[in-house]
Amino acid sequence: MNIVVFNGSPRKNGGCAALIQALVAGAQKKGHTAKVFHLIDQRVEPCLACYACMGRKVEFCVHDDDFTPMARDLLAADTVVFASPVYMGQITGLLKTFFDRWITFAEPDFSIRHVKGKRFVTIVTSGAPADRFKEVTDYLKYWLGEFFKMRHAGSLMAGDLHDPGDVQKRPDLLREAEALGQAL
Ligand SMILES: Cc1cc2nc3c(=O)[nH]c(=O)nc-3n(C[C@H](O)[C@H](O)[C@H](O)COP(=O)(O)O)c2cc1C
């Protein structure tokens, strides 16, 4: 099984990154392969609302940036992982800008192409206790599950994390992430 991961944290040494690493290690134990994209390294322009994608005037988007190669990996994946810290009560701008570009997967009648039926996992980190920003996980579950018709395969909410290394002091969270990967 192919897994593709999108990390919305700008910290490649942060909590999301470590939890992703643990999830991937768990998945690899089961023989799965995974590709991780740190969105901070990718050039992803904002959606222009031109609707050229919905009109099928272009394959994915009028922008010639890193979204199209990532979309090809996404299409080849069985499972998609969205990871983000909570920023001002929401997913990060990095992840949101990337996610806006998913309008390309919606048909003009809002039926869904390409991603429908794939499995998804969410990882959300926060400075506050984990359940304080449950709505961020609920947001991702709604849009990936209800709107994009993907199948929920697990969610990890990790709170009380501030400095990049904090998660290393939380073996419970690293174990939970690894178990999520193993269960895929
Ligand atoms: C700009 C900014 C906004 C943040 N907003 C929130 C917030 O609204 N709620 C919260 O609990 N933590 C907030 N945080 C803290 C991060 O969510 C937290 O440190 C998280 O564990 C970082 O994850 P990372 O290590 O994967 O980058 C914010 C941090 C930054 C830099």
Instruction: Write down how long the chain is.
Output: 184
| Structure token pair of residue 68 | 């199209």
pLDDT tens sequence across 10-63:
999 999 999 999 999 999 999 999 999 999 999 999 999 999 999 888 999 999
pLDDT of residue 120: 98
Q: Which pLDDT belongs to residue 52?
A: 95
For the record, the structure tokens of 86 come out as: 């909570």
Q: Is residue 71 very low, low, confident or very high in pLDDT (cuts 50, 70, 90)?
A: very high
67, pLDDT greater than 90: yes
Output the pLDDT for position 1. Answer: 95
Averaged pLDDT for residues 109-123: 97
Residues in the ligand 1 pocket, defined by CB under 6 Å: 9, 11, 14-16, 85-89, 125-128, 133, 161-162, 164
pLDDT reported for residue 57: 87
Mean pLDDT score, 94-122: 97
Q: What is the pLDDT of residue 55?
A: 80
Asked if 8 and 85 touch (Cβ cutoff 8 Å), the reply is: yes
Could you tell me what percent of the chain has a pLDDT over 90?
Answer: 98
The answer to whether 99 and 122 are in contact (CB under 8 A) is no
Probe target for ligand 1 pocket from 86, 132, 160, with the most ligand atoms within 8 Å of CB: 86
Q: Where are the beta strands (DSSP E) in 44-163?
A: 79-85, 119-125, 151-158
Q: How far is the CA of 33 from the centre of ligand 1 (A)?
A: 29
The protein residue with its alpha carbon nearest to ligand 1, atom 20, reads: 126
Residues 6+ away with beta carbon under 8 Å from 87: 93
pLDDT tens for residues 142-158?
A: 999 999 999 999 999 99
Q: For residues 8 and 95, is the Cβ–Cβ distance under 8 A?
A: yes
- Give me the CATH code for the 2-182 domain, please: 3.40.50.360
The domain ranges of the chain are 2-182
Which pLDDT band holds residue 169 (cuts at 50, 70, 90)?
Answer: very high
* Cα gap 80→117, rounded to integer Å: 11
Q: Which atom of ligand 1 is nearest to the CA of 13?
A: 25
| Predicted TM-score (pTM) of this structure | 0.98
Average pLDDT over residues 154-183: 98
Radius of gyration, CA atoms only, the chain: 16
Sequence-ordered alpha helix ranges (H) in 53-170: 67-76, 93-100, 134-140
